Amino acid sequence: MSYPYQVRSKEEYEEAYKRSIEDPEGFWANVAQHFVWKKPWTKVLEWNFKEPSVKWFDGATLNITENCIDRHLATLGEKPAIIWEPNHPEERVRTVTYNRLHKRVCQFAQVLKNNGVKKGDRVCIYMGMVPELAYAVLGCARIGAIHSVIFGGFSAQSIADRLEDAGAEYIVTADGAYRGEKIIPLKSVIDDALIGNKTVKRVIVYTRTRTPVSMIKGRDVWWEDEMERVEEQAPSGSPGGGEVQAHGQPSEESATDLNTSQSRPGAAAKSPHRGDLEGLAVEMSAEDPLFILYTSGSTGKPKGVVHSCGGYMVWTAYTFVNVFQYQPGDVHFCTADIGWITGHSYIIYGPLAAGATSVMFEGVPTYPDAGRLWDIVDKHKVNILYTAPTAIRSLMGFGLAPLEGKDLSSLKILGTVGEPINEEAWHWYDEHIGKKKCPIVDTWWQTENGGVLISNMAGITPSKPSFATLPMPGVQPILVDEAGVEILGNPAAGNLCIKAPWPSIIRTTYGDHERCRQAYFSTYENLYFTGDGALRDEDGNYRITGRVDDVLNVSGHRIGTAEVENAINMHSAVVESAVVGYPHDIKGQGIYAFVICPELHGGEEATRLNIIQTVARIIGPIAKPDKIQFVSGLPKTRSGKIMRRILRKIAEGETSAFGDTSTLLDPSVVEEIAKGRTLP
């Protein structure tokens, strides 16, 4: 059995693609009919890229959590929705069935309501990778609150900026998060972020690490107390499918083996109280915002990318089922953090909308050793593994010993995302993980896209190492030159743009629509500009070559050079700085900073460490420069613009061929900088 909208052959792909371009409205209406809508749409698509304004399924109403949970209960109630693998391998696995997920999401939705959260309110979620994070995300979606998940690696300052930008009044966090050997003191970071904050009314704190925290009266409440209160509110003492637990079945906290939990099909549907809680599933317009996710751009300030309910749901489910060729019963393991879009779309929304089983991993691939991912694949009989090239490269570095004794035979499909994958890593993944039997999907997409735009479909359309290959149905990529003229014919190289909207295209940047227009729709008229460069081969396959703007991709994390420069410049000794990327064996790109510091108090090394700490404090550890070179000047044009092209060459190790330097104010500075290059 497959999905009605699942493409099953190359011919079907070609047919679907053709139809999606010729008749996008008919095509997507046909896909969307397989979801649960409260009211049908009046118009499938209306758009212009000038404003921009994009509306999919306008007039329709829905609640995405009913699509991700409720509609599966009758058939999949006792099937695992989430299998949670803890950071410490000796800790118990938690298996969250769809029934259990329903109960917890409804319960937490009620908690949010009890704490004053209403439709449209912004809720910031700053948690580790625990099932409660999924409950929080879906609890928000249940009542129409807009979630804004912030990755645990961001600092207090970054959180403060995001809270302010979103006007968030509510926070869901935890005392701490485990990450390998480390504990991140989440609540204490939140406390710092809230110094001077005037909008946040309530902080809900989940207990995970038992890290001591200070709770502020009237503002901070415990997750457990709030959940219990809801449990007591319900007349039977257990709301929404609570009988799963009430009848003595193992809770998700202990049910590591599903065969031991007696399945009672249909039981949840008969709950006298489910009705009340279902009332919490707020009727949302297809175009109502579902969430905000902040991402870096070429300016100093992150943008709040806004996705809407209807289109995002359809796209994540469609691409999940087609790219990974998910079959009912398969176990899907996406190693991303839910703090990034990949986790939103391919741990939570896409898989759950498809009634899939999604593995959620709290820890890191190298803890307790470099065999951890393979242990998880073996233990949970993972069928689909979706990870980042940087993880593959880093694990490659440990050789084959960590693979010994690990049974990877359950794997059927492998995927990568986040950055270009080099051929060496691709072949290692193919040979040693997939044993040459698993198709690899190289999925290209962006936070702004909501889901995969260019990728092969596993086993359906051909893969080609280091190529993302072909567009999904509904996606019309084109390559343009600097002037925006389309480059026709194959092969070709140029800047990658998309011609028309797909259902989960960015709708706006929160609170500043003009910024959205500027960033994505103004470089080239009537086109969405990705910021990436790409090649197209004879057969029309796309190979993404990397960003053409001032955005870095470090270990698959997007970081704007301007943001890092701003942070470096906060250090009192720094006069000016310029940041560029350079090729890094494991991270893909490393961060190279050229810094002007007239006086190095305490010496070079101490200042260097201090600057790194400053960046960690202002942005977060993910943005720490790998290299800092102190310079006396920067190569600037007469108009004062830094020539990054030259700095990039120096960072890459170039010593003489810098191209034309005649427009520089002081060409001699280039040679001086090149001589002092910080060696790897």
Q: Alpha-carbon dihedral of residues 500, 505, 507, 512, nearest 10 degrees?
A: -100
Query: Could you tell me the smallest distance in angstroms from the CB atom of residue 666 to ligand WT7?
Result: 33
If binding is defined by CB under 6 A, does position 581 make contact with ligand WT7? no
With CA atoms as reference, report the closest residue to 129 among 121, 137, 117, 119.
137
φ, ψ of residue 497 to 5 degrees: the values are: -125, 165
Task: Name the residue nearer to ligand WT7 (CB basis): 221 or 472.
Answer: 472
- For position 342 contacting ligand WT7 by CB under 6 A, the verdict is yes
CA distances from 111 to 146, 148, 262 (A): 15, 18, 29
Total residues contacting ligand WT7 by CB under 6 A comes to 23
* 220 counts as binding ligand WT7 under rule CB under 6 A: no
Asked if residue 291 binds ligand WT7 (CB under 6 A), the reply is no
Min dist. Cβ of residue 568 to ligand WT7 (A)? 21
In order of 105, 140, 208, 398, the CA distances from 117 in angstroms are 15, 9, 24, 47
We find the least distance from the C-beta atom of residue 334 to ligand WT7, in angstroms, to be 11
Q: Which of 142, 202, 558, 644 binds ligand WT7 (CB under 6 A)?
A: 558
Residue among 209 and 553 whose Cβ is closer to ligand WT7: 553
Q: Which stretch binds ligand WT7 (CB under 6 A): 154-162, 270-278, 352-360, 530-538?
A: 530-538
Residue with Cβ nearer ligand WT7 (110 or 447): 447
568 near ligand WT7, judged by CB under 6 A: no
Locate the DSSP E strands across 459-520.
477-480, 492-498, 508-509
For ligand WT7, the closer CB: 315 or 444: 444
d(C-alpha 417, C-alpha 442), whole Å: 6
Binding part of the chain for ligand WT7, among 127-135, 393-401, 504-512, 528-536 by CB under 6 A, reads 528-536
Least Å distance, CB 325 to ligand WT7, is 17
Stretch that binds ligand WT7, among 482-490, 543-551, 652-660, 665-673 (CB under 6 A): 543-551
Q: Half-sphere exposure (CA, 13 Å, Cβ side) for 598?
A: 2
Long-range contacts of 373-377 (CB under 8 A, 24+ apart): 373/335, 374/402, 374/403, 374/406, 374/408, 374/433, 375/89, 375/406, 376/85, 376/333, 377/333, 377/406, 377/408, 377/410, 377/411
Among the listed residues 107, 295, 387, 577, the single contact to ligand WT7 using CB under 6 A: 295
Tell me: does residue 439 bind ligand WT7 (CB under 6 A): no
Residue nearer to ligand WT7 on the CB measure, 65 or 295? 295
User: Interface with ligand WT7 includes 420 (CB under 6 A)?
Assistant: yes
Residue 341 or 574 with smaller CB distance to ligand WT7: 341
Distance in Å, CB of 308 to ligand WT7, minimum: 17
445 binds ligand WT7 (CB under 6 A): yes
402 SS3 class: helix
Nearer to ligand WT7, 95 or 463 (CB): 463
d(CA 112, CA 136): 9
Q: How far is the CB of 99 from ligand WT7 (least distance, A)?
A: 31
User: Looking at the DSSP assignment, which residues form a beta bridge with residue 45?
Assistant: 56
Distance of CA 251 to the CA centre of its chain: 29
Closer to ligand WT7 by CB, 3 or 445: give it.
445
383 touching ligand WT7, by CB under 6 A: no
Sign of the Cα torsion 120, 121, 125, 130 reads negative
- Strands 146-149 and 61-62, sheet pairing: unpaired
Per DSSP bridges, beta strands 588-596 and 576-584 are antiparallel
Alpha-carbon separation of residue 603 from 111, 296, 503, 505, 606 (angstroms): 53, 32, 54, 49, 6
Q: For residue 341, state whether it binds ligand WT7 (rule: CB under 6 A).
A: yes
**The binder of ligand WT7 chosen from 200, 417, 567, 611 (CB under 6 A):** 417
Q: Around Cβ 15, how many Cβ atoms within 10 Å?
A: 13
User: Cα(194)–Cα(550) distance, rounded to whole angstroms?
Assistant: 30
Determine if 479 is a binding residue for ligand WT7 (CB under 6 A).
no
* Paired sense of beta strands 492-498 and 477-480, if any: antiparallel
What phi-psi label fits residue 134: left (phi over 0), alpha (psi between -120 and 50 degrees) or beta? alpha
Selected range binding ligand WT7 among 49-57, 372-380, 416-424, 655-663, rule: CB under 6 A: 416-424
Pick the closer one to ligand WT7 by CB: 175 or 419: 419
| 147 Rama sector, left if φ>0, alpha if ψ -120 to 50, beta otherwise | beta
Interface region with ligand WT7, contact rule CB under 6 A, candidates 201-209, 404-412, 413-421, 432-440: 413-421
The answer to whether the beta carbons of residues 128 and 184 sit under 8 Å apart is: yes
Kindly tell me which residue out of 311, 418, 439, 560 binds ligand WT7, with binding defined by CB under 6 A.
418
Considering only 131, 531, 590, 625, the residue that binds ligand WT7 (CB under 6 A) is: 531
* Selected binder of ligand WT7 within 308, 325, 447, 569 (CB under 6 A): 447
Cβ proximity to ligand WT7: between 155 and 342 the closer is: 342
- Cα 522 to Cα 484: distance, rounded to the nearest angstrom: 11
Sheet holding 492-498, edge to edge: 477-480, 492-498, 528-536, 542-547
Query: By CB under 6 A, which span of 315-323, 540-548, 627-635, 666-674 interacts with ligand WT7?
Result: 540-548
Cβ closer to ligand WT7: 357 or 553? Answer: 553
Q: Rule CB under 6 A: is residue 444 a binding residue for ligand WT7? A: yes
CB 566 within 8 A of CB 298: no
Q: Kindly tell me which residue out of 165, 191, 442, 563 binds ligand WT7, with binding defined by CB under 6 A.
A: 442
Q: Is 618 in the site for ligand WT7 (CB under 6 A)?
A: no
CB of 160 to ligand WT7, least distance (A): 21
Do 19 and 27 form a contact (C-beta atoms < 8 A)? yes
CB 594 within 8 A of CB 564: no
Rule CB under 6 A: say whether 532 interacts with ligand WT7. Answer: yes
| Residues numbered 450-469 forming contacts with ligand WT7, rule: CB under 6 A | 468
User: Which positions lie near ligand WT7, rule CB under 6 A?
Assistant: 295, 341-342, 417-420, 442-447, 468, 530-532, 544, 546-547, 553, 556, 558
